[in-house]
């Protein structure tokens, strides 16, 4: 996965990481959820979960896998 | 009633453990209302019942979503409904990836692989993907194939039988009286209708639901006995995992003790059924919950990830089964 430090957007809730919202709960939730939003542009990604992993695709920024 | 003054666990020991007859609604409700200090006792009895009537084997299953999201129904717990502002986008899994998922599931020692689609019921495209997918899996992997594709017509039931789908999952989700609070786009009775067709077809019936959606304890007990009336081969037990953007997104997760009471109660209502730990166990009960459940009436697990959320790694569950000296049910035993 992309280094979280470089992300602009929260991959769980899609809101800016430097905005007023806290993302501690999002970070905790991501232990048991794949990312839903592209961390670079905030687009909703196409996410496929399979028993042993997941793949998330942003039309602009490509594919991430678990 | 002559049994009025006897303790519910004593009654359950005689009726459920000795004779294999599930508790009635009043009995299930008593279990759901047991004080905290008696929950362990209830789980121990549920475990004895499971060992006596089902044996020590644990059935291991993997599930995969063939078609994710964009569902026209409004099940209020579901992140795959297209009617809510859930972040889950619509996506199809291709056949090679489906076969790969089945292979990886089989590699864990699982005997079951369930193909799921987020639909009201299958259309021609989904049935054709199923036909192709099930055939490809059967050619490549030794594993039982199950399916969960929503409400079916008789024709579709017959087609699935012909494809070699051995078990069909269709959850009632909750009891009849609470169902209208959970789903408004179809009825509990419509779901029941599909289940009856599936049962009559000879496919195994898998039917369970989600606990902790705001139903009362009375309604939880009602659900357990309605499942017992259906007498499914398998009951998957989920605990609400509140999903962002859904109407139930802000509901709390269940109290862990209530979740354990529910496990014991459902086993005591359904002594001979495969009772499967499904979604929400990690978030509701944490890592220790898996052990408590397996020693409290549960005799099947979904390993690895769920449809849109992640689970414990399969290896963690398999290691636990080894520690508990519970053998994984072999494929040959289920064919
Ligand atoms: S029918 Fe299934 S996929 Fe569709 S909203 Fe209900 S639970 Fe979700
Ligand atoms: Zn966030
Ligand atoms: Zn992007």
The domain locations on chain B are 22-326
Q: Find the range with the poorest average confidence among A1-5, B74-78, B196-200.
A: A1-5
Q: Report the run of H or E that residue B28 belongs to, with start and end.
A: helix B25-32
Under an 8 A CB cutoff, do A44 and B101 touch? no
C-beta separation of B201 from B234 below 8 A: no
Q: What is the mean pLDDT of chain B?
A: 95
Identify the residue among A39, A42, A50, A59 best suited for mutation to test binding to B, counting B beta carbons within 10 A and taking the highest: A50
- What residue ranges in B18-58 does DSSP mark as E strands? none
Residue A45 DSSP one-character state:
P
CA dist., res. B232 & res. B229, Å (int):
9
For residue range B6-65, list pLDDT tens digits in order: 999 999 999 999 999 999 999 999 999 999 999 999 999 999 999 999 999 999 999 999
Give the mean pLDDT of B267-293: 93
Residues of B with CB under 8 A from a CB of A: 62-65, 68, 87-89, 91, 93, 97, 100-101, 104-105, 108, 244, 282-283, 303-311, 314
Mutate to test the interface with A, among B278, B308, B316 (most CBs of A within 10 A): B308
3-state secondary structure of B260: helix
Q: Where are any strands of DSSP class E within chain A?
A: 46-50, 53-58, 62-65
Supply the pTM of this predicted model.
0.94
Residue B332 has pLDDT above 90, yes or no: no
Q: Which fold has domain B22-326?
A: TIM Barrel (3.20.20)
Region A17-35: mean pLDDT is 92
Going by pLDDT thresholds of 50, 70 and 90, the confidence category of residue B335 is very low
Residue B78 has pLDDT above 60, yes or no: yes
* pLDDT, position A2: 47
């Amino acid at each position: 996965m992309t280094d979280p430090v470089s992300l602009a957007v929260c991959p769980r809730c899609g809101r800016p990481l430097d905005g007023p919202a806290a993302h501690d709960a999002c970070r905790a939730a991501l232990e048991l959820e794949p990312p839903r939003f592209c961390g670079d542009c905030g687009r909703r990604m196409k996410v496929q979960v399979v028993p042993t992993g997941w793949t998330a695709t942003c039309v602009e920024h490509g594919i991430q896998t678990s | 009633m002559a049994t009025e003054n006897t303790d519910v666990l004593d009654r359950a020991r005689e009726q459920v453990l000795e004779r294999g007859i599930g508790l009635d609604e009043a009995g299930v409700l008593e279990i759901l209302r047991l004080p905290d200090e008696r929950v362990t006792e209830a789980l121990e009895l549920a475990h004895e019942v499971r060992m006596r009537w089902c044996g020590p084997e644990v059935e291991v299953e993997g599930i995969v979503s063939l078609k994710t999201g964009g569902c026209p129904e409004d099940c209020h717990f579901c992140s795959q409904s297209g009617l809510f502002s859930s972040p889950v986008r619509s996506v199809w899994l291709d056949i090679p990836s489906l076969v790969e998922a089945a292979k990886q599931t089989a590699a864990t020692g699982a005997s079951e692989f369930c193909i799921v689609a987020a639909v009201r019921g299958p259309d021609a495209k989904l049935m054709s993907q199923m036909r192709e997918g099930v055939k490809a899996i059967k050619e490549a992997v030794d594993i039982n194939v199950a399916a969960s594709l929503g409400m079916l017509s008789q024709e579709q039931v017959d087609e699935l039988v012909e494809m070699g789908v051995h078990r069909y999952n269709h959850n009632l989700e909750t009891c009849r009286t609470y169902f209208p609070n959970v789903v408004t786009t179809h009825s509990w009775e419509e779901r029941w209708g599909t289940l009856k067709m599936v049962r009559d077809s000879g496919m195994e019936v898998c039917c369970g639901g989600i606990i902790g959606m705001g139903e009362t304890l009375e309604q939880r007990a009602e659900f357990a006995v309605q499942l017992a009336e259906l007498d499914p081969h398998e009951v998957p037990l989920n605990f609400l995992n509140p999903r962002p953007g859904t109407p139930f997104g802000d509901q709390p997760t269940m109290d862990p003790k209530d979740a354990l009471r529910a496990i014991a109660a459902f086993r005591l209502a359904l002594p001979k059924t495969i009772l499967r730990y499904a979604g929400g166990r990690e978030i509701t009960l944490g890592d220790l919950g898996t052990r408590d459940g397996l020693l409290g009436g549960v005799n099947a697990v979904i390993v690895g990830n769920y449809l849109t959320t992640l689970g414990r790694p399969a290896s963690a569950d398999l290691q636990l089964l080894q520690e508990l000296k519970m053998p994984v049910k072999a494929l040959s035993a289920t064919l």
